[in-house]
């Protein structure tokens, strides 16, 4: 389907409009008055608007990250497999470094060990091998830990909290901060499961809407909540005596830092805690901003990091197809499906609108299609992914926002209906690797097909090719023999 005429695809126009409107959110400009001068009132009002807009953008960023994190928790029932080594930086490099290969070695209270086994945990995960002895040491140590989602961080700090609690003392002794109500509930569930054989142990949720009488003191041993409400409960309403807290956990630090207000509130809470309180901070990623925040929250930390699994394009055959427009891309996709048997495929689009359109068109052609879209509630997204994993649908059409970090082993083909670009329209190499990398895993060979429909997208493809230094071959989807050849 060679082409000379290139038009800016409808999708790209939509996407450009979207990123422009985002830009307007962030960069509210001061307009001159009739004499061409700015008035103070205008400047002030623009500053207020800019702040409000920045907060709104913050809020959206946090919601995106929080939704992703919740989705990961909902769709995961096992540890993520990782062969990467853990890196440990001890606060005192001269003290011996302990690591455990079994839960028995930790000398847990019997009812906790029973709880761990009842959850089906046979041995500590990679990160737990090092983190647990540090967290349970005498005196307990402070810790900053980073490892990708699903590697056992939550289970580790829940075990640390449960180990420190003295149920005979009817007041809060452990405080855990989560970025959102929903994430707090998820952690609460783990506490309840692991503490199943510890019935005297009580848990309270400090989340908006959980109203208590003024002047009341709470008797629950563990409090889990969002920073604003926890701060109110400690400082304003005095439901919690922060001086009695023994373990302070800040979970999902990378999600937390997306909101400036949450950072400030967390730091204010931390300052109210006693000096000997154990401080623990967890994050799935470790950008500079997370690191700076972590150092403010956790004094004298030990640091544990687990590198991310390397993704590679080595086992993946990459192709591109030249088209003139969206309809031709759809036709190319149908030709591909007509010529080869595809176990399961993920198709990525740039906007929700294209994704919905494509899913509908594929359904009309008789394909069993699942659509994962940003408008869906997180629980609905989890249900869609679950069905796809079970093989109930063979094609998953999605936008990038929804599909980060989703592992579906049986996906053999990834199709970039639109190439991944960042907010400024430049190639998003990391996303490309992420999307394509998931097909060629576990020693399997994968197939990736990129749809190119304009000079601009050809340029993006070339830059992706240069970045990875891996050739992306041209494929003619009108030539059935050729398609069959690549499939074999
Ligand atoms: N030692 C273990 N053995 C077996 N399964 C485990 C172990 N530790 C945790 N799990 C399970 O693995 C999954 C991921 O663990 P966990 O939620 O603690 O990871 P996480 O790193 O906190 O992930 P996230 O960042 O998404 O919260 C959960 O289903 C949990 O029950």
Atom 14, ligand 1: residue with shortest CA distance: 150
d(Cα 194, Cα 159) in Å, to the nearest integer?
8
What domains are there in the chain, each with its CATH number? 86-306 (3.40.50.300), 316-487 (3.40.50.300)
Query: pLDDT: is 408 or 67 the higher one?
Result: 67
Q: How does DSSP classify residue 427?
A: B
Ligand 1: lining residues by beta carbon, under 6 Å = 72-73, 76-79, 119, 121, 124-125, 128, 147, 149-155, 284
The end-to-end CA distance of the chain, in Å, is: 22
Q: Which of 1-5, 405-409, 484-488 has the largest mean confidence?
A: 484-488
Residue 79: pLDDT band with limits 50, 70, 90: confident
C-alpha closest to that of 118 among 179, 197, 61 = 197
Contacts of 130 (CB under 8 A, 6+ apart): 86, 88, 97, 98, 99, 304
Let me know how long the chain is.
488
Identify the pLDDT of residue 17: 35
Q: Residues with Cβ < 8 Å from 341, sequence gap 6 or more?
A: 487
pLDDT at 404 over 80: no
DSSP 32: P
A 10 A CB-CB count for 23 gives 11
Which ligand 1 atom lies nearest to the CA of residue 127? 21
Q: Which residues are registered as beta bridge partners of 319?
A: 449, 473
The answer to whether 298 and 268 have CB atoms below 8 angstroms apart is no
pTM score? 0.77
Token pair recorded at residue 199:
């019935």
Residue 93 burial (C-beta neighbours within 10 Å; 0-12, 13-18, 19+): exposed
Average pLDDT over the chain, rounded to whole?
83
pLDDT in tens, 38-64: 444 444 444 455 566 656 655 666 677
pLDDT attached to residue 121: 95
| pLDDT for 224 beyond 50 | yes
**pLDDT for residue 43:** 46
Answer yes or no: is pLDDT of 295 > 60: yes
How far apart (Å, rounded) are the C-alpha atoms in residues 221 and 203? 6
Pocket test for ligand 1, best of 127, 150, 159, 177 (most atoms within 8 A of CB): 150
- CA dist 268 and 414 (Å) reads 46
- The answer to whether the CB of 307 falls within 8 A of the CB of 151 is no
Specify which of 95-109, 230-244, 302-316, 391-405 reaches the highest per-range mean pLDDT.
230-244
Q: State the distance from the centre of ligand 1 to the C-alpha of 73, rounded, in angstroms.
A: 9
**Percent of the residues in the chain that have a pLDDT greater than 90, as a whole number:** 50
Closest CA to 152 of 82, 96, 104: 82
Predicted confidence at residue 460, as pLDDT, reads 96
At residue 301, the pLDDT reads 95
Give the ipTM: 0.98
Q: Which atom of ligand 1 approaches the CA of 158 most closely?
A: 18
């Amino acid at each position: 389907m060679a082409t000379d005429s290139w038009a800016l695809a409808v999708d790209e126009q939509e996407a450009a409009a979207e990123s422009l409107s985002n830009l307007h959110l962030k960069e509210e400009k001061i307009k001159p008055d009739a004499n061409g001068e700015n008035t103070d009132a205008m400047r002030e009002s623009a500053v207020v608007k800019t702040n409000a807009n920045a907060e709104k953008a913050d809020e959206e960023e946090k919601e995106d990250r929080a939704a992703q994190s919740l989705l990961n928790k909902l769709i995961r029932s096992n540890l993520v497999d990782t062969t990467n080594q853990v890196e440990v930086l001890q606060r005192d490099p001269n003290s011996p470094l302990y690591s455990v290969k079994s839960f028995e070695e930790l000398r847990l209270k019997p009812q906790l060990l029973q709880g761990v086994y009842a959850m089906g945990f046979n041995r500590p995960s990679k990160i737990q091998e090092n983190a647990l002895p540090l967290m349970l040491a005498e005196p307990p140590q402070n810790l900053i830990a980073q490892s990708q989602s699903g590697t056992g961080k939550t289970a580790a700090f829940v075990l640390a909290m449960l180990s420190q609690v003295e149920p005979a003392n009817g007041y809060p002794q452990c405080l855990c901060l989560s970025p959102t109500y929903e994430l707090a509930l998820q952690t609460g569930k783990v506490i309840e499961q692991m503490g199943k054989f510890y019935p005297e142990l009580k848990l309270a949720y400090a989340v908006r809407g959980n109203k208590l009488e003024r002047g009341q003191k709470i008797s629950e041993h563990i409090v889990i909540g969002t920073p604003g409400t926890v701060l109110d409960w400690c400082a304003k309403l005095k439901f919690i005596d922060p001086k009695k807290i023994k373990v302070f956990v800040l979970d999902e630090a990378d999600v937390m830092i997306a909101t400036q207000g949450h950072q400030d509130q967390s730091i204010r809470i931390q300052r109210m805690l006693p000096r000997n309180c154990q401080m623990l901070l967890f994050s799935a990623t470790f950008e500079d901003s997370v690191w700076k925040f972590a150092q403010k929250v956790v004094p004298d930390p030990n640091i544990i990091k687990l590198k991310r699994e390397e993704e590679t394009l080595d086992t993946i055959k990459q192709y591109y197809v030249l088209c003139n427009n969206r309809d031709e891309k759809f036709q190319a996709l149908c030709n591909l499906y007509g010529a080869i048997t595809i176990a399961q495929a993920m198709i990525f689009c740039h906007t929700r609108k294209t994704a919905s359109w494509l899913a509908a068109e594929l359904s009309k052609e008789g394909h069993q299609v699942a659509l994962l879209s940003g408008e869906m509630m997180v629980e609905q997204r989890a249900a869609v992914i679950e069905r796809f994993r079970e093989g109930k649908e063979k094609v998953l059409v999605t936008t990038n926002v929804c599909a980060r970090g989703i592992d579906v082993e049986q996906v053999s083909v990834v199709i970039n209906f639109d190439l991944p670009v960042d907010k400024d329209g430049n190639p998003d190499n990391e996303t490309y690797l992420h999307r394509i990398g998931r097909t060629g895993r576990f020693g399997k060979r994968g197939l990736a097909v990129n749809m190119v429909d304009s000079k601009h997208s050809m340029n993006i493809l070339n830059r992706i090719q240069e970045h990875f230094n891996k050739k992306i071959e041209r494929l003619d989807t009108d030539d059935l023999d050729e398609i069959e050849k690549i499939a074999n």
